[in-house]
Copies of this chain bind each other. A is one copy, B any other.
């Protein structure tokens, strides 16, 4: 690991379709792996990237953040252009800036903003199939919006956490408690069958957004009453909530610092 004098912060967008996730692993291509390999090549020094979090296989990002230490003297602008020229076209570095030595993409993060995209009513658009969940029926959007109103504030999200995946040290020892800043339903102005669920918060458990969305879909379809949603928090039981919504509808839009 090259620990040099400069601390560089990267803002990254990617199409998660063909990746097994952000985090470097041996079972397939990863965004972290692609970036580390190319940066190591450029700096002639084995580089480890620190990401703001991990996105799972198939999840997309419009504003992922990562940082790394380097003694390379390449200016940020030139570094960005060169790096993009080496990267595959489904990963783009949007910005590189030099930050204080103590900036840490994960620990310094104050929050994240996720968007989950859906198309309702049997809309079938091949050019959206990799970036928006297409649901055959309609949803009771009033019910979905009512549930989203329950989200802001601090809650124990055990019911929405991927089973067996808790890693207390990773998220600061708070267990499953997270603070949601905002949770909104956006209906697309051009086509009201396109809806986006937008959630920002100070941290997210693994699969948390997708488990919330999967539960909202069940409620929107009328399988459960709206009141059930609030009860899920109290239950702290993953088995009570809905299924995990597919990865391809989820976008990490921004990381706040």
Q: Which residues of A contact B (CB under 8 A)?
A: 13-15, 60, 62, 84, 89-92, 94, 124-127, 129-131, 189-190, 251
Expressed in whole angstroms, the Cα–Cα distance for A13 and B190 within the complex equals 18
Contacts of A62 in B (CB 8 A): 125, 127
* Contact in complex: A15, B94 (CB < 8 Å): no
Expressed in whole angstroms, the Cα–Cα distance for A190 and B62 within the complex equals 14
Q: Can you sample 22 A-B contacts with CB below 8 Å?
A: A13-B124, A13-B125, A13-B126, A14-B126, A15-B126, A15-B127, A60-B126, A60-B127, A62-B125, A62-B127, A84-B124, A89-B129, A90-B129, A91-B126, A92-B124, A92-B125, A94-B124, A127-B130, A127-B131, A127-B251, A189-B189, A189-B190
Q: How far is the CB of A7 from chain B (nearest CB, A)?
A: 24
Expressed in whole angstroms, the Cα–Cα distance for A166 and B183 within the complex equals 54
Expressed in whole angstroms, the Cα–Cα distance for A129 and B33 within the complex equals 21
Contacts of A84 in B (CB 8 A): 124
Contacts of A89 in B (CB 8 A): 126, 129
Expressed in whole angstroms, the Cα–Cα distance for A92 and B127 within the complex equals 10
Contacts of A94 in B (CB 8 A): 124
Expressed in whole angstroms, the Cα–Cα distance for A15 and B130 within the complex equals 11
With CB as the reference atom, state the residue of chain B lying closest to A16.
B127
With CB as the reference atom, state the residue of chain B lying closest to A88.
B126
With CB as the reference atom, state the residue of chain B lying closest to A94.
B124
Expressed in whole angstroms, the Cα–Cα distance for A125 and B131 within the complex equals 12
Expressed in whole angstroms, the Cα–Cα distance for A85 and B243 within the complex equals 25
With CB as the reference atom, state the residue of chain B lying closest to A134.
B92
Contacts of A13 in B (CB 8 A): 124-127
